[in-house]
Structure 1
Amino acid sequence: MRASRLLFILTTLQARGRVTAQALADECEVSVRTIYRDIDALSAAGIPVYSERGSDGGYRLLDSYRVRLNGLSPREAAALFLAGLAGPADDLGLGAVMTVARTKLLAALPQDLRASAERMRTRFHLDAPAWFAEAEQPAHLAAIAEAVWTQGPILIRYQSWKAEKRRRVEPLGIVLKSGAWYLVGRVETSVRTYRISRILELEILREHFERPEAFDLPAYWKAATERLEADLHSVTATVRLSPVGAEMLAAFSPPYVKVRTELEMEAAADGWRTATLPVGRTKQAVVDLLRLGAEIEVLDPPELRDRMAEVAADLARIYGKRS
C-alpha cells in the first residue's frame, strides 16, 4: 500500500508541479503527518523533492526530474489505453495526434506491459450515444476545441429553444454527454452551457482571456446537471401502480426519478401500490406517465390528474371512431 502511495505522490508532483501536503493527504486519504513521512522517504531514496513555504507553497520536484513509465502496474497500463476514445478524439480533430501518442506510449512501456495494454484496446469499446440515437458531429466542434486550448474568446450565433442569440463566450471546456457535445463558457460574469450543434455561426477572436484558476469543469458539470434534473422534475406526484406498472416505471424512469421514488412495500388487495415520485410540469409529466398506459393512476396533484383524464378521453374519442 505504501509503495503505491509513494508512486502516486511522485507522479502527481511530476504532473502538477507544486502540490500541498494537505492536497496529497486528501487524495491519498491519509493524514498530513503520513504525507510528511512519505516525502522524507522519497528524499531518502534520492528523489529530488523540495518544499516551498508561504501561502502558495507546497512540494515540487526538481524541474529536470522525470519518472519512467516502468512503475505502472499491468492494469494501470491497460487503463491508459481504455481512456483513449478514438471516436470523440476524431470529432475534436485529435484523431491523428492520439494515434501517435498511443504509439509512443506503447513504445515507452516495458515489454511485459505491452500485451496487457493491447488486450485492453482490442477487448473494450465505448459507444457513447444512447440506443437509437446518432452521435452528433457539430460543424464547429474542432474550432471550439482549439479555442478552449488556446484560451481564445469566440463570438457565436446560437439557436436556443426560444430564440436566436449572439454571445461573446470565453470557452472553458467541452463535455460529451450521451453522444451530444456541449460548450461550457463564461459570458460576462456567469458560466453557461451551450449545445454545440445549435451554434449556427462561430468566430474566434484574436484576443486572449485568463482562465479562472478555481474553475473545475467536472465539478461544474456535476452541479449543473443536478440543477437541471431538479428543475425538470420540480413537482411531486402521487400515483397508484399495478404490478406491471411498477416494473414499467422502474424500467422507463431516468436515474434521478428512480432514486427519489418511494413505493409502498405492501400492495392493496388488488395488487396495486401507491408511490410518490418527482415529475416534470404538467405537460411533460403527462407525456412521461402515459407510457405506462392503464397501469398507472395519478392521484395528486389535481391538475395533473385532470389533464391525464382529458388526454385519456381524447384518445378514447379518436380510437372509438369507426372507419
Structure 2
Amino acid sequence: MKLERLISMIYKLLNHEVLSASMLAEEFQVSQRTIYRDIDVLCAAGFPVISHQGSKGGYGIMDGYKMDKSLLGSYDVNSLITVLSSFSTVFKDERVQGTIERLQTVAPEHQTPSLSVDFETLRTEPDALCQLRTGITKRKIIRFDYINANNERTTRDIEPMWLHFKYSNWYVYGFCRTRRDYREFRLSRMMNLFLTQEDFQPHHGAPKEAAFSYKEGYDQLKDVVIRVGPKALAEAMDQFHQADKQFHDDGSMTMRIPVYKPLEARWLWSILLSFGSGAEVLEPIALRGLLKEQLQNTLQLYEEV
C-alpha cells in the first residue's frame, strides 16, 4: 500500500507545480506526518522533490525534470487521455484518474487534443453502469427486471462478465441464472437494477465471446431495399451509414441493407416507419406488408381525431 501511494504521489507532483502536505494527506487518507516521511523516502530514492515556503507553499518537482516520453512509443497520448477521461466520467472510477495523471507526464506539451469521446448514458438508469462494473470486478450477482424483444417482463439474476458499447447502446454479457445459459442484455431495457452481496465463481469453460456471431447467421441475412426521398437522406444515412447507396438524378437514393431475419427485426420496422413518407421499402415484398399492417393499426388509434 505504501509503495502504491509513493508511486501515485510522484505522478501527482509531476502534474502539479505545488501541492501542500495537507492536500496530499487528504488525497491519500493519511496523516501529514506520514506525508513528510514519504517525501523523505522520495528524496532518498533520487527524485528531485523541492519544498516551497509560504502560505501557498508545499512540495513540487524540480523544474526541468521530465519522464522519458518514449515509454509509449508513437502512441497519441492525448487521445488515450481523452478516452480514459470519458470512461472515468461514465464509471465514476477514481482509479482511472491515477492512470490519466501518469499519462499526462509523458504527453506532448501545448498540443491541441485531436479526439473527443462522449459515451451516451441517457438510455440507462442512473448508476447502472457503475453497479454493473462493480458486479463484474467483485464477482457479485446482479438482479434486475428486463423487457425482452417479445415485450415480456421478467426478473433476472445474472453473473456479469463484461460490458459492451456498440450500436450506440450499452450491453452486459453474463450467465443468466434464470435461463441457465449465457445471455446478452441491453441496458436500456433493464429496470430496478440491484447489486446483491451474493458472490459467484466463474464457470469453467465460459465463452470468450458473445453467443451470437454474424458469421454463424450469415445465411439468414437478407437484403432490404429502400428508396429514400431527398428530404430524408441525412436521417437514412445516419441510420444505415454502411449500406450500399445509389443516388438518382431526382435527388433520391436507393439503399441496400443486409439485415438478419428482417421479417422478425422489429428494430428495423421502427426505423423505417420513423421516416414517414420519406422512404419506401421496395424489397422484400413481405416486409412492405408488415409495415402496412403496422401503419393501419396505428391509424386505428387515432380514428376519433
- Distance in 1 of aligned mates of 2:300 and 2:185: 42
**Hey, what does 2:199 align to over in structure 1?**
207
**Hey, what does 2:146 align to over in structure 1?**
159
1:126 CA drift (Å): 0.9
Contact 2:85/2:97, CA 8 A, preserved across alignment: no
Superimposed CA distance per residue, residues 83-115 of structure 1 (whole angstroms, 9 cap, x where no aligned partner): 3134x3233230x322233224434x4xxx552
Unaligned stretches of 5+ in structure 1? 1-67
**Hey, what does 2:90 align to over in structure 1?**
91
**Hey, what does 2:81 align to over in structure 1?**
81
Partner amino acid for 2:89? D
Pick one of 104, 127, 136 that aligns with 1:139. 127
- Distance in 2 of aligned mates of 1:194 and 1:224: 12
- Distance in 2 of aligned mates of 1:286 and 1:206: 40
Superimposed CA distance per residue, residues 40-87 of structure 1 (whole angstroms, 9 cap, x where no aligned partner): xxxxxxxxxxxxxxxxxxxxxxxxxxxx8743335444343233134x
Aligned positions of 1:34-45 closer than 5 A: none
**Hey, what does 1:190 align to over in structure 2?**
181
Contact 1:234/1:281, CA 8 A, preserved across alignment: no
CA pair 305-98 structure 1, distance change in 2 beyond 3 A: closer
Q: Higher strand share goes to which structure?
A: 2
Corresponding residue SS for 2:172: strand
Aligned-pair identity (%) = 17
1:211 CA drift (Å): 6.0
C-alpha RMSD over aligned residues: 4.9
Partner amino acid for 2:82? L
**Hey, what does 1:3 align to over in structure 2?**
none
- Distance in 2 of aligned mates of 1:106 and 1:136: 31
- Distance in 1 of aligned mates of 2:297 and 2:202: 57
1:154 CA drift (Å): 0.5
Structure 2-normalised TM-score? 0.53
- Distance in 2 of aligned mates of 1:274 and 1:103: 49
Structure 1-normalised TM-score? 0.50
- Distance in 1 of aligned mates of 2:218 and 2:182: 19
1:209 CA drift (Å): 0.7
Contact 2:135/2:142, CA 8 A, preserved across alignment: no
Contact 1:153/1:168, CA 8 A, preserved across alignment: no
Contact 1:245/1:292, CA 8 A, preserved across alignment: no
